[in-house]
Amino acid sequence: MLWNEPNNLSHWDFEMDPEWRIFANMARQGGAAVRAENREVTRALGGISPIDPDFIRLMKGHGALDQIDVVAVHGFPLDWNHWTIHEWPDKITEIEAATDLPIWVSEAGVSSFGAEEVQQFGLNRTAELLIGRVPRIHWYSLHDLPRTWPATTRHREAEGSAYYRHFYMGLIREDGTPKLALERFAEYAPKLGICQWFHYEDPRLDASVRHLRDLGVRHLRTGLSWADRLRPNALQWFDRQMSALEEFDVTLTLCFTPEEKGLRPHHTSPPQKIEEFADFCSEMTRRYV
């Protein structure tokens, strides 16, 4: 998967790329680089949030979909989106009208910020509406985000309760105890997959593998950060992560610009040299696919 939520201002600096032409070129070159390394791997455009068919049409017009096999969407109607959870099928239909490519739901989730019962309802209703409607679904996420870690969003605490909901998206609390929705999730696996981001040298990795195995998960979405690639011993961590996840069907998201390689020193920035992102895509494909 090439990038994550490119139409979300927390994940792409649109002021530096107001028409997304740089991003489209980056997706096209990244997709071509993946294909050159392995002709069998499925190439997905980073899941979009909000779900916007006009953005998919824009990407098509810019040629971004020329090297893409799947488009993906993210939806959080009980936390951040301005539509109801019952509209999930309509949202898929909107994207189907914009492209002939298959559509995955690479993130769908509900926080337990207000009550765990709300998350449990959201899981049940999401599964009812999406299983059989799209070929791939990843529930976001397995773990709550630890409160001492920052959520990846540009405005952070200025977002009010919307920001703090990021920390309650997991099926498992920060202390490792299960929420109400965890047991129910096992009834939907393997038709329902999981999206779980792992931070650099994440101490939850081995426990996560055990939980995923116990739940019967087959499809896992995670990521490798281009920015992390420049850390000392980055490949040792990448190797450990990918080796631990080898038993799963992994959707591997490649994203986050190194500060020194962006038009601005920020992970959301378009890169100064698009070909360097393509080189990262080639290296990761060659090493792990």
* pLDDT greater than 60 at residue 154: no
Could you read off the pLDDT of 68-110 as tens digits, one per residue?
999 999 999 999 999 999 999 999 999 999 999 999 999 999 9
Say which residues have a Cβ less than 8 Å from residue 266's Cβ, sequence separation at least 6: 13, 257, 259
Instruction: State the residue range of the domain holding 244.
Output: 21-288
The reply to whether 100 falls in a domain is yes
Could you read off the pLDDT of 164-174 as tens digits, one per residue?
788 899 999 99
The reply to whether 32 falls in a domain is yes
Q: Assign residue 215 the CATH number of its domain.
A: 3.20.20
The reply to whether 14 falls in a domain is no
Strands 137-140, 103-108: pairing is parallel
Could you read off the pLDDT of 204-243 as tens digits, one per residue?
999 999 999 999 999 999 999 999 999 999 999 999 999 9
For 168-180, the DSSP string reads G--SB-TTSPBPH
The reply to whether 47 falls in a domain is yes
Pairwise CA distance, residues 142 & 114, whole Å = 18
Res 146: pLDDT: 81
The reply to whether 6 falls in a domain is no
Record the tokens describing residue 108, joined without a space.
């769908």
Res 151: pLDDT: 66
Res 140: pLDDT: 98
Res 186: pLDDT: 96
The reply to whether 16 falls in a domain is no
Q: Which pTM value belongs to this model? A: 0.95
Amino acid at 80: W
Number of Cβ within 10 Å of residue 103's Cβ equals 22
Question: Tokens 């090439």 appear where?
Answer: 2
Res 224: pLDDT: 98
Check: CB of residue 87 under 8 Å from CB of residue 126: no
Instruction: State the total domains in the chain.
Output: 1
